A and B are shown apart, each in its own frame.
Chain A
Amino acid sequence: MTAIEEQGTSLWRDAWIKLCKNYLALLGLAIILLLCLVSLLTPWIAPYGYEEQNLLLGATPPSAAHWLGTDIFGRDMLTRIMYGGRVSLTVGFIATAVALVIGVLWGAIAGFVGGRVDAVMMRIVDIMYALPFMIFIVLLMVVFGRNILLLFLAIGAVEWLTMARIVRGQVMNLRKQEFVEAAYSLGLSQWTIIRRHIIPNTLGPVIVYTTLTIPSVMLLEAFLSFLGLGIQPPQSSWGLLINYGVETMEEYPWLLIFPGVTLSLTLFALNFLGDGLRDALDPRTSKDQ
């Protein structure tokens, strides 16, 4: 009776193996982890203090003392970018979390209840899609001042729409699947079905879309900060640094290039990771192989 049991490969493991073969995605993951680590440790590892100025020094190109140069106040660019990254990444993660919570709940309820409730909920999403959100966010920032909390809420409120659509589609699709019907016919309770059969199968697309939402949120924050409508001094973010860099780019191009490269690199990393996750988690590529 004690035949050797072969250990199966779960879809999660399968996806991980596929992801490990995608070097670009892995590189993206590594960059993001590194950025998160650096941001966490910034107050301890930053080469200079955040407020430290050296007006006598002024703007200098990269050197051994200041790897990424200094700005017109003689502040160390590397330090500025590290502190800016804390804000940019925080906005990215928290606003995405807001979008995630609203979107998943909204989509899951619409998809699971179905029928008329679903029709009404999705109609609301359709209508909100048609609203000019970018303009609304600008308006909010103008009217209520540049409040970072409000920024989270405003960006989160825009980005949840697509998440709701994705989750709803996935749940609708799952509900029609025969294994969910089989779970019903076994008499499992709603909650058990959701926990054991719906959630594990919805997780993949949600992870993928979350990964892809972070860069678009960061972009939105940078956009607003660039216009002067987002993060305000003395706080700093990459968008704001780019804004300052543009003003002096003719004389001191490194003030534009370094924050710009950092932002682009982060967006790259997140997008590559997102694309890689999408390929790895796509059930179509693992079925029947």
Chain B
Amino acid sequence: MALLEVEGLKVYFHTRNGVVKAVDDVSFSVDCGETLAIVGESGSGKSVTCYSLLDLLPKPPARIEGGTALFDGEDLLTCDSTRMRHFRGNDIAVIFQDPMTSLNPFISIGEQLIEPLIYHPDPARKQSRETARKRAIELLDEVGIIDPKSRVDCYPHEFSGGMRQRVMIAMALINEPRLLICDEPTTALDVTIQAQILTLIKKLQETRDVAVIFISHDLGVVAGIADKVLVMCEGTIREAGDTDTIFYHSQNDYTQKLLAAIPEGAKQLPNRAQPDNVLVEVTNLKTHFTDYNKPSNQDNVIRAVDGVSLSIQRGEISGLVGESGSGKSTLGRSILQLAPTTAGQVTFDGTSLTGLNAKQLVPWRRKMQMIFQDPYASLNPRMTVYQTLAEPLLYHGLANRKTIDQQVRQLMDDVGLVHSQLRKYPHEFSGGQRQRIAIGRAIATKPELIIADEPVSALDVTIQAQVLDLILDLVERHNLTMLFISHDLSVVRYISDRVMVMNRGVIIEQGDTEALWADPQQAYTKQLLKAIPLADPRMERVRLADAQADV
């Protein structure tokens, strides 16, 4: 008998707008020492499935409508709250997605770590503060926190995101659980940190023979560590099987669609760059901010962009990659004169933009546009699609009252939206559709340059693929030049002709995409490239083993 056997699980949400079948007839099992990956896009019910096991869902609106979840023969779904405490944090532990919000900011991490020990519901396993603290320090050491003896008394805000996730892992392990549920444990982290955390989880699992349920939206992340994979969509299981079968011999349409949506390999379209026709020239650009929260006697200057020079040729798609805090977004905004530059020059089509005031910039604004990351925040919630798309056209005098209707409809066609939705408001659209509207607004003025700041990172992988293809299609049809900013190296490789790598406010390496991938020069670039998870189990296992050997 398996350690955990879930049979016919049904979880429904009873909302004002009706019943949502978040999990509908889901069955699976996990054995000791085994890793089960649950993969699905947002709304697939993958997290709800696991939270329902530990009674962590808000009730109401959630309600468990049926099924059993036998852990060691005992049903988790019917046990009372006192009994549930024997499972939570003891036999079954959870690592949550966002380490920035999952630790209590008011309590030192040492105190948070020892809580499962000192408040253990089983008196025989309850420990004193002193022994618990020793155990906590040992575990912090094991998960790779340097100087655990003094760090144990620090508060969460004194740790970086990656370090907090290590603390979360230590906390989950402190009672030596038999089942570890990891809910997207690396999604909120940078790619290099993600690689470290994945190797850590893998290593800890091997030394402890614990069963793991690994929830992820990213097939690449799962490929190397899972023994079995469960593909979920809209609350139901679409396919289940061992990892190699799912990846290499999938029988299911949806799984195949997911696999196909992963951007892989080089760009398929020809490089349209016109050599010697430079559209944008940036020289020694600096953008510094003052942090007013810090007293002025300390160093309160944030050097987001600190001396960047680059040039973008007409017709080219340049990728700009970097981890969070590298200054890549600020660089994009500085080029468009949306962030006040401190020093340096930005030249667009031979004209210097840095000296111009707001009024003088207006004719140039038409020629350079931006696509933003968050499809929820990038549209004015109080304007209809029609108003959003018509605004730039009317403002720049590109349309008159007679032609505007036709032009807006043309834009809707361009970005693949149906005309019947013209009078709708942003909150009535899905994330992917909203991003299409934002793209429509950006191309409305027929710009020459588009800066896309993480345009697909907030989207599910299948939607992401569609929007990427739309962007490529528009670039070609409208003869656009594009600067594509992203943290996701695979996406950048898939879309760009040339890549620039940014770190701590400066560009440390640039070159043609394939050349850079084949032979990176800088240590940081090499580290970045090595950290990309591959959606191919055999290759990914090799990569993880290498990474483990490096540690």
Complex: chain B residue closest to A116, CB-CB: B292
In-complex Cβ contact of B428 among A8, A177, A197 (8 A): A8
Given contacts A178-B378, A182-B370, contact A9 B428 (CB under 8 A): yes
Indicate whether B376 reaches chain A with its CB closer than 8 angstroms: yes
Residue contact A6 to B420, C-beta cutoff 8 Å: yes
In-complex Cβ contact of A4 among B370, B383, B420 (8 A): B420
Indicate whether B379 reaches chain A with its CB closer than 8 angstroms: yes
Please tell me which stretch of B234-242, B270-278, B389-397 contacts chain A, meaning at least 4 of its Cβ atoms lie within 8 angstroms of it.
Answer: B389-397
In-complex Cβ contact of A187 among B15, B292, B365, B382 (8 A): B365
Residue contact B419 to A3, C-beta cutoff 8 Å: yes
Name the residue among A14, A178, A196 with the largest chain B CB count within 10 angstroms: A178
Residue contact B421 to A6, C-beta cutoff 8 Å: yes
Complex: chain A residue closest to B372, CB-CB: A178
Bound-complex Cα distance A201 to B376 (A): 14
Query: In whole Å, how far is B95's beta carbon from the nearest beta carbon of chain A?
Result: 26
Indicate whether B268 reaches chain A with its CB closer than 8 angstroms: no
Residue contact B376 to A11, C-beta cutoff 8 Å: no
Chain B hits for A187, CB < 8 A: 361-366, 395-396
Residue contact B438 to A182, C-beta cutoff 8 Å: yes
Chain A hits for B376, CB < 8 A: 287
Indicate whether A251 reaches chain B with its CB closer than 8 angstroms: no
Provide the B364-386 mask, 1 if CB < 8 A to any CB of A, else 0: 11101110111011111111110
Chain A hits for B169, CB < 8 A: none
In-complex Cβ contact of B377 among A3, A5, A179 (8 A): A179
Chain B hits for A6, CB < 8 A: 420-421, 423-424
Residue contact A178 to B374, C-beta cutoff 8 Å: yes
Indicate whether B87 reaches chain A with its CB closer than 8 angstroms: no
Name the residue among A5, A9, A190 with the largest chain B CB count within 10 angstroms: A5
Residue contact A185 to B338, C-beta cutoff 8 Å: yes
Residue contact A201 to B380, C-beta cutoff 8 Å: yes
Indicate whether B445 reaches chain A with its CB closer than 8 angstroms: yes
Indicate whether A63 reaches chain B with its CB closer than 8 angstroms: no
Query: In whole Å, how far is A84's beta carbon from the nearest beta carbon of chain B?
Result: 40
In-complex Cβ contact of A3 among B358, B384, B418 (8 A): B418
Query: In whole Å, how far is B24's beta carbon from the nearest beta carbon of chain A?
Result: 20
Indicate whether B427 reaches chain A with its CB closer than 8 angstroms: yes
Bound-complex Cα distance A185 to B337 (A): 8
Query: In whole Å, how far is A176's beta carbon from the nearest beta carbon of chain B?
Result: 9
Indicate whether B425 reaches chain A with its CB closer than 8 angstroms: yes
Indicate whether B139 reaches chain A with its CB closer than 8 angstroms: no
Chain B hits for A10, CB < 8 A: 382, 384, 425
Residues of A165-193 contacting chain B, CB below 8 A: 177-179, 181-190, 192
Residue contact B424 to A179, C-beta cutoff 8 Å: no
Bound-complex Cα distance A11 to B427 (A): 8
Chain A hits for B378, CB < 8 A: 177-179, 182
Provide the A36-56 mask, 1 if CB < 8 A to any CB of B, else 0: 000000000000000000000
Indicate whether A233 reaches chain B with its CB closer than 8 angstroms: no
Chain A hits for B391, CB < 8 A: 183, 186, 188, 196
Indicate whether A1 reaches chain B with its CB closer than 8 angstroms: yes
Indicate whether A132 reaches chain B with its CB closer than 8 angstroms: no
Query: In whole Å, how far is A35's beta carbon from the nearest beta carbon of chain B?
Result: 31
Residue contact B423 to A197, C-beta cutoff 8 Å: no
Indicate whether B422 reaches chain A with its CB closer than 8 angstroms: yes
Residue contact A178 to B421, C-beta cutoff 8 Å: no
Given contacts A181-B338, A184-B338, contact A190 B395 (CB under 8 A): no
Indicate whether A12 reaches chain B with its CB closer than 8 angstroms: yes
Residue contact B423 to A8, C-beta cutoff 8 Å: yes
Residue contact A200 to B382, C-beta cutoff 8 Å: yes
Complex: chain B residue closest to A203, CB-CB: B382
Query: In whole Å, how far is B462's beta carbon from the nearest beta carbon of chain A?
Result: 19
Given contacts A10-B425, A177-B377, A190-B358, contact A185 B369 (CB under 8 A): yes
Residue contact A8 to B424, C-beta cutoff 8 Å: yes
Complex: chain B residue closest to A14, CB-CB: B427
Chain A hits for B445, CB < 8 A: 186
Residues of A149-163 contacting chain B, CB below 8 A: none
Indicate whether B441 reaches chain A with its CB closer than 8 angstroms: yes
Indicate whether B336 reaches chain A with its CB closer than 8 angstroms: yes
Chain B hits for A186, CB < 8 A: 365-366, 369, 391-392, 395-396, 441, 445
In-complex Cβ contact of A286 among B361, B364, B427, B441 (8 A): B427
Indicate whether A283 reaches chain B with its CB closer than 8 angstroms: yes
In-complex Cβ contact of A7 among B362, B396, B423 (8 A): B423
Query: In whole Å, how far is A250's beta carbon from the nearest beta carbon of chain B?
Result: 51
Provide the B6-31 mask, 1 if CB < 8 A to any CB of A, else 0: 00000000010100000000000000
Provide the A1-34 mask, 1 if CB < 8 A to any CB of B, else 0: 1011111111110100000000000000000000
Chain A hits for B361, CB < 8 A: 187
Residue contact A182 to B362, C-beta cutoff 8 Å: no
Chain B hits for A265, CB < 8 A: none
Residue contact A201 to B338, C-beta cutoff 8 Å: no
Chain B hits for A288, CB < 8 A: 427
Given contacts A200-B382, A201-B380, contact A181 B423 (CB under 8 A): no
Provide the A255-289 mask, 1 if CB < 8 A to any CB of B, else 0: 00000000000000000000000000001001111
Given contacts A8-B423, A182-B370, A185-B336, contact A283 B395 (CB under 8 A): no
Given contacts A3-B420, A187-B396, contact A201 B382 (CB under 8 A): yes
Chain A hits for B17, CB < 8 A: 289
Indicate whether A115 reaches chain B with its CB closer than 8 angstroms: yes
Chain A hits for B425, CB < 8 A: 8-11
Chain B hits for A190, CB < 8 A: 358
Complex: chain B residue closest to A197, CB-CB: B380
Bound-complex Cα distance A288 to B430 (A): 8
Indicate whether A142 reaches chain B with its CB closer than 8 angstroms: no
Bound-complex Cα distance A187 to B380 (A): 16
Bound-complex Cα distance A247 to B64 (A): 62
Chain A hits for B364, CB < 8 A: 187
Bound-complex Cα distance A200 to B384 (A): 13
Query: In whole Å, how far is B392's beta carbon from the nearest beta carbon of chain A?
Result: 5
Bound-complex Cα distance A184 to B361 (A): 10
Indicate whether A139 reaches chain B with its CB closer than 8 angstroms: no
Bound-complex Cα distance A177 to B373 (A): 11
Indicate whether A249 reaches chain B with its CB closer than 8 angstroms: no
Indicate whether A113 reaches chain B with its CB closer than 8 angstroms: no
Chain B hits for A189, CB < 8 A: 358
User: What are 18 of the A-B contact pairs (CB < 8 Å)?
Assistant: A1-B409, A6-B424, A8-B425, A11-B425, A115-B290, A178-B377, A179-B378, A181-B372, A183-B380, A186-B392, A186-B441, A187-B366, A187-B396, A188-B391, A188-B395, A197-B380, A201-B380, A289-B15
Given contacts A187-B364, A200-B382, A287-B376, 20 further A-B contacts (CB under 8 A): A5-B419, A5-B423, A7-B423, A8-B423, A10-B384, A11-B382, A178-B377, A179-B377, A181-B370, A182-B438, A185-B370, A186-B366, A186-B396, A187-B362, A190-B358, A196-B383, A200-B380, A201-B380, A288-B427, A289-B17
User: What are the 3 tightest A-B residue pairs by CB atom distance, in nearest-first order?
Assistant: A187-B365, A8-B424, A178-B378
